[in-house]
Amino acid sequence: MVFKSIITQKEDQNIFLNRILFSSLLILILASIIFIRLIFLQIYDSDQYKLRSLNNTIRMQSIPPSRGLIFDRNNNILAENRPVFQLEMIPEQVQQIDKILDELGRLNLINKNKISELTERIEKSYQFKSITLNTKLSEKQIAIFANNRNIFKGIDIKSRLVRYYPKADMFSHALGYVGSISSKDYLRFDSSIYTGKEQIGKTSIERDYETTLHGYPGKEKLLVNVRGRVMDRLDTEPFQPGNNLILTLDSHLQEIAYNAMQGKKGAVVGIDPTNGEVLIFISTPSYDPNKISQGMSISEYKAFQNNKNKPLFNRAIAGQYPPGSTIKPMLALGGLDMGYINPDNFIPCEGHYLLPNYSRPFNDWARHGSVNTVRAIQASCDVYFYELAVDMGIEKMSSFLSKFNLGKKTLIDLGSEKKGIIPNREWKKNNFKSKQNQSWYQGETVITGIGQGYMLATPLQLAMATAMIANRGSAFRPHLVRAIENIKTGELTYTSTEEINNLQHIKQEHWDIIHQGMVAVVNERRGTAYGIFQSNVSVAGKTGSSQVFSIDKSSTKEIPEELKDHGLFIGFAPLEKPKIALTIIVENGGGGRVSAAPVAEKIMQAILNSERQDGV
């Protein structure tokens, strides 16, 4: 055995100790680095990493708000929210998906023809996320599913709110409808208060009061794993429902008018002359907004759009018609005010009017004999108004009629309103390209005097003009929303409207003449609406016919319905304190007496019966 010297052993011991010292020092340095890093992570960088951690585990989900309700003036519900039940599947919880879908189809719980489409959607979606299989289950389908629930693991029934309109077709053009939110809709409103799941107003009141009806979404804090699956619900902030609307419409009068129209093409608008509240707002034919709001296929919607009777078209504010003889009381008032006619003077009517240096006569619909202002309105004598139009001239005639708010929008609280046309020389110059066609001819002045030619008005405009006649010169801007109810406090904020006083300068005796003529239309033998209303009824009115196609009057029975004249009626009641100013237009009705006046009679009778019951 070889023994190391004492010196050698000592050297080895020093080397060993140095190695231990070096290793310890290295460990200490590494530990210090780790320790310092931990300090930075836990103290200085803790907020950053905590935020990253939370973002990976917590998500905020919006809860769509319930939409505000809509009532009529008597608190009858017109638009509400109802739950519908839909069938949903979470694919990862379902074994043999194809087999299950076939079974659901066999039980008529899903559309058999859409199974392949559903399969494709399921394959493209996250397996842990719910897929809707049927958006609206019937009570029978719900019962069938309940009886077979044990074989449908991973499939369940969920509820959601949809808009429901109890009166269906009757109020559709006033209320409008709702639908799924689109990219264009996001541009119209603050996208931060929309979740993308709710329905949004598409037309009429639903659209124009969207911000009032919508409300504010709630929020839900969800704990999710790395795959996005919800593990827990940590917190919920409830949504704020939308505010309610109380409309000016009267359901009773609306129903009478709607039924009286019998689905014929046309419109009925009734206004309270004392405040501009719209009592009746009808456009026919109508449509059921429930079918659109609760889901309609593209082909079904296109069928609506392509329907020749245009049920989606809002005739009450966008239909523009020649007003025909309904403007005669307004024109007579202008003639009286400007001194062109004397109410006591009579002129002869031989059934036609001859314009100097004009080749053909302008025919009247009858020979009326000797007529003054009252009789001209009563019998709707065209010759009287041909002469008046020529005497006044197109510029003065146009200027005076515009004071009835014709030729401009009424500014009702609905979009899509048309302004109609009150023609004059400047209008024609601006609307015809050919210089030859830009000239205004005397014959055009003549036919403008009976509301034909280029003149156009909407039913709403004529109702507002009638309100001005009823009030002897003043009217209020028409509006459909009477009040907004704050959903939190229950407080009602009522709509204030502008009063228009364009004609209050006119002498009362001139207004008396116009009212006498309109009363005679309804109550005296030569009146164009005589016999339609009960005798001595407290109604003033004026019939009108709007020519669609120029044709010999003797041939009217032989022409197709779509070429017949439109029938019009304007009126107000009761005479002493008018409660309604009314306009009815029946497209291709063949004349105001036979088509529009009978509709007016039913409405006016309801108004007068109500007056008698109230003891007025």
- Average pLDDT over the chain reads 88
Q: Where in the chain is the domain with CATH 3.40.710.10?
A: 251-613
pLDDT at 584: 98
Distance between CA atoms of 319 and 419, rounded to whole angstroms? 10
552-568 pLDDT, tens digit each: 554 555 677 777 899 99
Q: If DSSP codes are grouped into helix, strand and coil, which group holds residue 592?
A: helix
The answer to whether residue 388 scores a pLDDT higher than 90 is yes
- Which residue type does 210 have? E
As given in the structure block, the two tokens for residue 47 are 């907020």
Nearest to 544 by CA among 451, 425, 613: 451
Q: What is the 3-state secondary structure (H, E, C) of 426-458?
A: HHHHHHCCCHHHHCCCHHHHHHHCCCCCCCEEC
Res 616: pLDDT: 43
Residue 371 backbone dihedrals phi, psi, to 5 degrees: -135, 145
C-alpha torsion sign, points 12, 14, 17, 23: negative
pLDDT digits (tens, 9 = 90+) for 52-87: 555 557 777 777 889 999 999 999 999 999 988 888
The active-site residue out of 172, 204, 283, 325 is: 325
pLDDT band for 407, please (50, 70, 90 cuts).
very high
> How confident is the model over 264-282, as pLDDT tens digits?
999 999 999 999 999 999 9
Strand pairing of 244-247 and 70-71?
parallel
Name the pTM for this structure: 0.84
Domain covering 61-244, topology: Penicillin-binding protein 2a (Domain 2) (3.90.1310)
3-state SS, residue 108: coil
Amino acid (one-letter) located at 458: T
DSSP character string of 526-583 = TSTTTTTSPTT-S-EEEEEEE-SS---GGGTTTS-GGGSPEEEEEEEE-SSS--EEEE
Rounded Cα distance between 589 and 311, Å, is: 17
Q: How far apart are CA 378 and CA 523, in angstroms?
A: 9
pLDDT at position 613 is: 67
CA distance to 36, 182, 440, 513, 531, per residue, from 536 (Å): 104, 56, 44, 18, 10
The highest-confidence range among 47-51, 109-113, 226-230, 326-330, by mean pLDDT, is: 326-330
What does the alpha-carbon distance between residue 381 and residue 389 come to, in Å, rounded to a whole number?
A: 13
Percent of the chain, pLDDT > 70?
A: 90
- For the stretch 475-495, pLDDT in tens is 999 999 999 999 999 999 999
Please indicate whether residue 8 or residue 200 has the higher confidence score (pLDDT).
Answer: 200
Backbone torsions φ then ψ of 453, nearest 5 degrees = 75, -130
- The H or E element containing residue 39 is helix 6-39
The residues pairing with 545 across neighbouring beta strands, listed in sequence order, are: 567
Least confident of 19-28, 34-43, 186-195: 34-43
CA atoms within 13 A on the CB side of 309: 15
Residue 192: pLDDT above 80? no
Decide which of 518 and 139 is more confident. 518
Residues 261, 586: contact at Cβ < 8 Å?
A: yes
d(CA 244, CA 167): 18
Query: Whole-angstrom Cα distance, residue 30 to residue 37?
Result: 11
Share of the chain above pLDDT 90, in %: 58
Q: Per-residue pLDDT for 50 more than 70? A: no
Report, at the CATH architecture level, how domain 251-613 is classified: 3-Layer(aba) Sandwich (3.40)
> 581 φ, ψ to 5°?
-115, 130
Contact 402, 422 (CB under 8 A): yes
Q: pLDDT digit string (tens) for 439-474? A: 999 999 999 999 999 999 999 999 999 999 999 999
Asked if 325 is an active-site residue, the reply is yes
Choose the weakest-confidence range: 207-216, 391-400, 496-505: 496-505
335 vs 564: CA distance, rounded Å? 31
User: Do residues 453 and 439 make contact, with C-beta atoms less than 8 angstroms apart?
Assistant: no
Closest CA to 247 of 208, 283, 214: 208
Are 518 and 293 in contact by the 8 Å Cβ rule? The answer is: no
CB 245 within 8 A of CB 481: yes
Could you tell me if 543 and 325 are in contact, meaning their C-beta atoms sit under 8 angstroms apart? yes
DSSP-assigned beta bridge partners for residue 284: 266
Distances in whole angstroms, Cα of residue 445 to Cα of each of 317, 386, 421, 422: 26, 8, 14, 12
Pick from 156-160, 212-216, 580-584 the range whose average pLDDT is largest.
580-584
Spatial CA neighbour of 383 closest among 398, 397, 362, 400: 362
Q: Enumerate the CATH 3.90.1310.10 domain ranges in the chain, comma separated.
A: 61-244
Q: Is residue 1 over pLDDT 70?
A: no
Candidates 402, 371, 377, 543; CA nearest to 465 is: 402
Q: What is the pLDDT of residues 307-329, one digit of tens each?
A: 999 999 999 999 999 999 999 99
pLDDT confidence band for 381 (50 / 70 / 90): very high
- Sign of the Cα pseudo-torsion (589, 592, 593, 598, in order): positive
Q: What integer is the mean pLDDT of 496-525?
A: 94
pLDDT higher than 80, residue 505: yes
Least confident of 72-81, 92-101, 165-174, 484-493: 92-101
